[in-house]
Structure 1
């Protein structure tokens, strides 16, 4: 008969629910704390079961925090399941029976902060001896770079495609240029239409990209007539004290002729390369490191292995004088008590709670609530509701580390310590803000295997379980599952800190070697007040083709076409359709490789295309999204998808 610790984990010894560390068969006998019980149903890896009686009306707990209320009496060994998880599992092709009914209701209780009991937490004591990495010290207060990149920035969404095309033409110029870590595009979806509501945020983010210490030189590209232009970006940087004079940069506006523009930009880049080659790494203190703490594709073990490991390393960086940045506001709702357990100043705690309240208000403007955050994948992997997801996400703050400051999205960090940055729960949008705030390293924790990377800041990817690491060893840097397997956190943390120093010093991360990366800035929000929500809810997009005039009313034009069961088309293409924003870059790279190999031409395909988009990450998937995706799949041009 296995002991509980052999098959499950308790985030805290006082919890009344345990987390299965592997699939457990129904009837499995378990010994714990002098008692024995059997599992009522087959329990999926990452899902919870009761370890002692929980009467109806009593709270279910993890990390000593309440995440649900028993809706019926729960016995030791019972599968703990709510309605949302039961619905999600019913959609999966499972080969075992689920409980007939849910046995608990979600509990997302409003957090009450008692200022009278607040006690300021002292900063962490610093290490007596400094540790160093090899970095690029920048002038003008820009900080220290962990990379020396030449960046091609599409200032708005309208020039992102040109930036990508330019990078594909010029990337090889860096191959034989010493001390140049790459030529990369930064393309995003914002600033292309009139009067964006995120104007200030977007300008601050682009300014942060421009002045980032990992940028050796940057070419900003616009048309000159967008909502956000190079002229406006330059004026913003000068007005807000960004050290533009200490940065190799060029603002370029596109003119007529694609190839002419390519040639002009190539000359700008060529002129910079000898200068970039003169940049040298030198020993720099770890106090110059600023770590972005992120998670995506989270599972039940994110808060047990991956996030605590990232927190351990971040704590060490802070003790050397560096900084760490926690974000994703909506994924901390329900974990306020943990985040505010240690705070250096009362006003900082107030600022954090104001950010939470404002985010909830904004979500309400769009007819939604934060409770809809966990995705289907999150639920399948054991994150039953926003409370559990938030508690796991908050574990990126080590219990010993006090909250130093709260900042806006992409607001620069000015000192060491632990920061909270206001941002959405979308991984890519949040990472972009952290980079713009000055983060020169990214820790990305994943359970499902998200492979997010950023173009000019190295990402160290932690995966939460050994089994998943074995599946994704070519995409992950750190197996946090070793902690679940019995390795001491201090030992695993020390090795991960060594890896962090190596990658900061120039060793490519796994993601950098793979070559995939993408950028998404916090997107414009259409609602600016709690009005017209009913109109939003009534909108419908079927995904069906638009009606056209009858054939006898159209002029006759003779062109060669393919006749397909879905209509006539001038060419046949193969499409790679990412189901979410997070897989867009992989889809794009796959299409490029297939085209380079010439695959499909023997069966009539002219090319492969990737339909990269901004939707499908996190939360519920609305019918409009599904209908539009189905509409793409039925397009007459498509022969293979």
Structure 2
């Protein structure tokens, strides 16, 4: 006789999920003598008690919906049987009310990184080629291939060259208030510690976003730069404008850029890994292709590892506004101060307004894959998503594209889109990424190593050469949540130190960086 396993998260829950691969058939007898009224897929919810019409459906000790009809014990709680609750009202939340946990420091941990002159440290040693406008992206792609083929073999200590291409820079309302988001994102990407200060800019010449603005030089300052000044020489060493009359033909442009790239590569090649304090490690955490296991295996394991990173002096940023909005009442009490809690509310309200302007709401987030994996709605998804943040106090809130200011747990406000979230976290200073998935995704970034964590062992086994850590073993009780957290913590340090290579880097699977541009396009 098959043994069917349920996972109930909290004693007050009136639903639990089926653990078994393939789910369970109608008539199957579950723990506690529950008999299934119908077949239930893996990861989907089963009623543990009878639930009346309109009554709360509870998971994580939180209401995830209301029953559309009376539900007998052993029913499959599909999306069609639930009414989604309204989100928490932002003006009725507790602010910074939780007693600060007494967290003992975790000493003796370092990682082997590339030290920078500003005190930061990279986990990779990369040449970045930024662009001021999408028009030049074809040229930068051409040059990246050429540099990798002809120059990189001469500089073995350089990990690679990355084009920071994007679809911004012209045909946009460059002075609109929301334009600050893509502009500061591009500015701050160039400051990421994985570039070691060696970023060059390719522009066209006629674009609205002039190249000097990516280097934090505003238009007024640019006009007043003297021809023979240090600033003028610095721009000459780092910026190429394709429309500059000094260029005669495409090959001349290429030769100029290649000469500039070689000078940057020479400096990067002199860098070596050395022991760095974990205070210079900035870990971005994200989930994509989530399922019902995300909130009970991978995400809590990430949260446990996040607390370890923070105890060791490092920083962690969690994001995805629409995937925390319905759980915001669990986060505002954890803010280190009332000011931080109010900043959380500010970002929630900004995104509520942004979605409303586009005639959408947070329910648009949940994907067909999420639902197939057992997540009925954004409320349930959010309650599992926030577990990536662990238990540490939230010390700061970053608006989209802002750089990290404080060590510890940060909320970096971003959309939930995998690619935009990863790009914004990178701009905020992330030098290592942890990405959990239940449905599976080949997502990776060239600019930082991306550790992929599977939420269920079915995916971990099928994608054995794409997944870096299988947290599904928590559900099958092969390891404890704490053991998974420690395993991930040590993997983070090994990957940051270059001792282990993540699957995405080994296979060369890297997604494009994608800007978030909420400003008007003209």
Q: TM-score scaled by structure 2?
A: 0.90
Give the direction of change, closer, same or farther, for the CA distance of 1:115–1:152 in structure 2 (3 Å limit): closer
How many Å apart are 1:123 and its aligned residue? 6.2
CA offset digits 1:22-57 (Å, max 9, x no partner): 31111111122xxx1211111111211101111122
Deviations 1:344-363 (A, max 9, x none): 11121122122112211111
- Return closer, same or farther for 1:236/1:314 CA change in 2, 3 Å cut-off: farther
Q: What is the alpha-carbon distance in structure 1 between the residues aligned to residue 489 and residue 237 of structure 2?
A: 33
CA-CA distance at 1:526 after TM superposition: 4.0
Which of these two proteins has the greater Rg computed from alpha carbons? 1
Equivalent pair of 2:123/2:448 in contact (CA under 8 Å): yes
Distance 1:261 1:423, change over 3 A: same
Q: What's the counterpart of residue 372 of structure 2?
A: 380
2:115 paired residue among 132, 137, 146: 137
Question: What is the aligned partner in structure 1 of residue 26 from structure 2?
Answer: 26
TM superposition shift of 1:446 = 1.1
Question: Alpha carbons of 1:152 and 1:310: their partners in 2 closer, same or farther (altered >3 Å)?
Answer: same
- Is the contact between residue 290 and residue 441 of structure 1 (CA under 8 Å) also seen in structure 2? yes
Note the 1:333-348 alignment, pairs <5 A: 333-348=325-340
Question: CA 1:76–1:230 in structure 2 vs 1: closer, same or farther (change >3 Å)?
Answer: same
- Cα–Cα, structure 1 residues 288 and 224, in superposed 2: closer, same or farther, change >3 Å? same
Q: Partner residue of 1:308?
A: 300
CA distance in 2, matches of 1:165, 1:130: 45
1:193 aligns with 2:171: yes
**Which of 453, 459, 463 is equivalent to 2:454?**
463
Helix, strand or coil for the counterpart of 1:335? helix
User: CA 1:254–1:118 in structure 2 vs 1: closer, same or farther (change >3 Å)?
Assistant: closer
Aligned with residue 53 of structure 2, among 51, 56, 74: 56
CA displacement at 1:408 relative to structure 2:
0.7
The Cα shift of 1:78 comes to 0.2
Counterpart position of 1:502: 494
Cα distance, 1:501 vs structure 2: 0.8
Counterpart in 2 of 1:433?
A: 424
Deviation per residue, 1:538-591 (Å, 9 max, x gap): xxxxxxxxxxxxxxxxxxxxxxxxxxxxxxxxxxxxxxxxxxxxxxxxxxxxxx
List gaps (5 residues or longer) in structure 1. Answer: 84-102, 529-641
Cα offset, 1:17, TM superposition: 0.8
Cα drift, residue 442 of structure 1: 0.6
Say whether the 8 Å CA contact 1:207–1:237 is kept in structure 2: no
Q: Deviations over 1:163-182 (max 9, x none)?
A: 22211111133245232111
Aligned pair partner of 2:485 in 487, 493, 503: 493
Q: Structure 1 pair 131/117, CA: closer, same or farther in 2 (3 Å)?
A: closer
Pick from 206, 210, 226 the counterpart of residue 229 of structure 1.
210
RMSD: 2.5
Distance in structure 2 (CA, Å) of the matches to 1:29 and 1:75: 15
Q: Is the 8 A contact 2:321 2:351 kept in 1?
A: yes
Q: Secondary structure at the match of 1:395?
A: helix
Structure 2 counterpart of 1:127, from 105, 116, 119: 105
Partner of 1:446: 437
Which residue is 2:137 aligned to?
Answer: 160
Deviation at 1:405, TM superposition (A): 1.2
Name the stretch that deviates more: 109-118 or 283-292: 109-118
Q: Which residue number in structure 2 is paired with residue 416 of structure 1? A: 407
C-alpha spacing 1:166/1:118, structure 2 compared with 1 (3 Å) = closer
1:199/1:228 contact within 8 Å kept: no
Partner Cα separation in structure 2 for residue 205 and residue 336 of structure 1: 25
Q: For the Cα contact (< 8 Å) 1:121–1:344, is it kept in 2?
A: no
- CA apart distance, 1:248: 12
Tell me: CA distance 1:312–1:429, structure 2 relative to 1, closer, same or farther (3 Å): same
Distance 1:275 1:235 in 2: 22
2:235 and 2:261 mapped to 1: Cα distance? 14
The 3-state SS of whatever aligns with 2:295 is helix
Q: Does residue 522 of the first structure (1) align with residue 516 of the second (2)?
A: yes
Q: Does the 8 Å contact 1:203/1:236 carry over to 2?
A: no
Please tell me whether the aligned partners of residues 156 and 226 of structure 1 are also in contact (alpha carbons under 8 angstroms): yes
Mean Cα deviation higher: 401-410 or 245-254: 245-254
**2:226 paired residue number:** none
Task: Tell me whether 1:170 sits opposite 2:147 in the alignment.
Answer: yes
Pairs within 5 Å for 1:222-621? 222-236=203-217, 250-255=238-243, 257-398=249-390, 400-486=391-477, 487-506=479-498, 507-517=500-510, 518-526=512-520
Secondary structure of the corresponding residue to residue 207 of structure 1: helix
Matched length: 499
- Give deviations 1:504-537, integer Å, cap 9, x for gaps: 0113221111112221011344499xxxxxxxxx
TM-score computed with the length of structure 1 as normaliser: 0.74
Q: Distance in 2 between matches of 1:222 and 1:164?
A: 14
Following superposition, the deviation at residue 295 of structure 1 comes to 0.9
Structure 1 pair 246–293 and aligned structure 2 pair: CA distance change class (3 A): farther
SS at match of 1:28: coil
Deviation at 1:479, TM superposition (A): 0.8
Consecutive unaligned residues in structure 2, runs of 5 or more: 222-230
Alpha-carbon distance change, 300 to 134 in structure 1, aligned in 2, over 3 angstroms: same
Distance 2:426 2:456 in 1: 27
The one of 14, 36, 39 equivalent to 1:39 is: 36
